[in-house]
Amino acid sequence: METSGPIDNFADSLTIPAFMDLYFSRLDNGIRLVHYPVRARVAYCGLIVGAGSRDERPDEQGLAHFTEHMLFKGTTRRKAYHILSYLEDVGGELNAYTTREETSLYATVLREHYRRAVELISDIAFSSRFPPRETEREREVVIEEINSVADTPSELIFDEFDSLLFRDDPLGRPILGLPHTVREFDSDMVRSFMSENYDTNKMVFCSVGDIKPKEVERLFTRYFGDIPANRTGRGRPQAVRSAPAAISLEKEGLNQAHCITGNVSFSLHDPRRKVMHLLNNLLGGQGMNSRLNMALRERNGYAYHVESNYQPYSDTGLFSLYFGTDTKNLEKSINLVEREMRRLKERRLGPMQLSKARNQLKGYLARSHENFESLMLTIGKSLLVYDKVEPVETLFAGIESITAGEVMEVAGEIFDTAGMLRLIYR
C-alpha cells in the first residue's frame, strides 16, 4: 500500500470546476458523502478517515500505518485473498495510504462494478477481524518496508529531518514506525487504535464517476448507514518545533552527500498558505524551470535531483528543500540554495515574473484534476478538513490576488536561514 497521500495539498480546500454538480449527504452516524457525477467508463470511490500517525502514543509508533495494512487481512465475510481478488477479478484496484493526519481506503473500477467497490470498502473499514496469524506475518512485512527506507538515504533523510525538527512531537515520528514498536503490535492494539481514533464524524466517503447521485446515496446508506456512531472526542496537542540547528552525520557507503533544509510553515487554515504554495513552486516545485533546478542542475551540473516541498497540517506546516550532490560540490550547492532563497526575500518579483508564477501554479492544479482518482481524494479531504468544497474559480482568484509584496513577506519569514534546520548526510 502507499504510505503517503496526494501531493497536491493546495487543492485540499477546493479545486473543482464551478460547473461541477456536486452531491453531498450526511448519515446520522456522522459519516459524510461527496459525489461528483462525470461521464467516464471508470468510477472512483474511497473512505478518508481523519486519523494518522500523529494520533499515536509513543509506544504506538507506526500503528496507524499498520492498521491500514491489517484492514486488508480478513473480515467477518472475507479472507485476505478474497479481499484482494474481489475487485481485481473485474479489472479494478483497491489501495490505501496513511499520512500523519489521515488514512484513506480507495478503489478504482469499471462503473458497472461500482457497487462492489462501495461494499468492499465498507466491509474492510468496519468488519475486519485482524487474525493473529495475519498480524504476525504483516509485522514482518512492515519491518521490511522500514528496512527498505533505511537502505535509501534519499528517503531516510526526510524521516530523520522531521524527527529533528519536531523533536518529541508526534509529527516528528516516522509514519512507518520503528522495528521495535512494530514488533509489539497485536490485534488488540489495532482494535484499540481504531476505537480511539476512527471517529465517524471524521469520515468522508468520496466518489467520482458516471453514477447517478440517487444510486450513490442508496449504496452509501445501505453500506454505511448501519455503522454505529463512534465519537472519540480525541484532540491533538499543539505541535512544537525544536531549536534551529545545522547537523552533519557521517554515513557509510554513500556515493554522494544528501542535504535537506527546512522550517515550520503555515497550516491548512492559514490564508498565507496560497502564497506559500506559489513560493514553493517557484523555488523548487515540479517544473524543470524552478529556480533551484536551474541553479544546481542546469547551470552548474551539481545535482541530478533537487526539490522543495510544502506540507500543511491542521495547526502548522512544514517547508523543506532537498538535493543530493558530490561531496566536493556540497558547500557550493548550499551557497547556491541560500542565494536563491535570499533573492526571493530581497528582490520583489516583477509583473512578468509574478504572472508566470501564477499561471504555472494554476496550470499544475488544473492538470492534476484531469486525474479523477486525484480529484476524488481531493474533494474528500476538502470536505473532511473544511466541511466544504469550493469551485476552481475561487482558487484561481486567490492565486491571482497574490502580490509581489506578499511573496517577499512570506519568503522573509520562512526562508530565514537563522531559523532553519539543516541536516546533511556525508
Span 326-357, pLDDT tens digits: 999 999 999 999 999 999 999 999 999 999 99
pLDDT band at 20 (very low <50, low <70, confident <90, very high): low
Annotate 68-78 with b (16+ C-beta within 10 A) or e (fewer): bbbbbbbbeeb
Residue identified by cell 550547492 is: 333
pLDDT at 393: 83
User: Which CATH fold topology does 9-224 show?
Assistant: Cytochrome Bc1 Complex; Chain A, domain 1 (3.30.830)
Give the mean pLDDT of 87-115: 98
Query: Per-residue pLDDT averaged across 367-371, rounded?
Result: 81
Do 245-425 and 9-224 have the same topology in CATH? Answer: yes
The predicted pLDDT at position 15 comes to 41
pTM for this one?
Answer: 0.93
| Rounded-to-integer distance, Cα 232 and Cα 301, Å | 53
pLDDT class of 7 with cuts at 50, 70, 90: very low
CA distance 260 to 205: 36
Please state which architecture CATH assigns to domain 245-425. 2-Layer Sandwich (3.30)
DSSP structural state of residue 298: I
How many Cα atoms within 13 Å fall on the side-chain side of residue 171?
Answer: 22
Q: What is the sign of the dihedral through the CA atoms of 398, 400, 401 and 406?
A: positive
In Å, the largest CA–CA distance within the chain is 64
Is residue 306 helix, strand or coil?
strand
Of 111, 133, 355, which Cα lies nearest the Cα of 211?
111
Domain boundaries along the sequence of the chain: 9-224, 245-425
Residue 177 C-alpha cell reads as: 514506525
User: Which amino acid type is present at position 72?
Assistant: F
Q: E strands along 266-316, which residues?
A: 303-312
pLDDT, tens only, 24-54: 999 999 999 999 999 999 999 999 999 999 9
Q: Closest by alpha carbon to 104, among 229, 232, 203?
A: 203
What are the grid coordinates assigned to 304, written together? 541530478
Q: What is the pLDDT of residues 277-312, one digit of tens each?
A: 999 999 999 889 999 999 999 999 999 999 999 999
Question: What is the average pLDDT across 172-185?
Answer: 97
Distance CA 146, CA 182 (A): 10
Reported confidence tier of residue 235, pLDDT bands at 50, 70, 90: confident
Q: Predicted confidence band at 203 (pLDDT cuts at 50, 70, 90)?
A: very high
The answer to whether residues 241 and 51 touch, using CB atoms and an 8 Å cutoff, is no
Residue 17: pLDDT band by 50, 70, 90 thresholds?
A: very low
From CA 381, how far away is CA 9, in angstroms rounded? 10
The DSSP call for residue 317 is: E
List beta partners, residue 324: 258
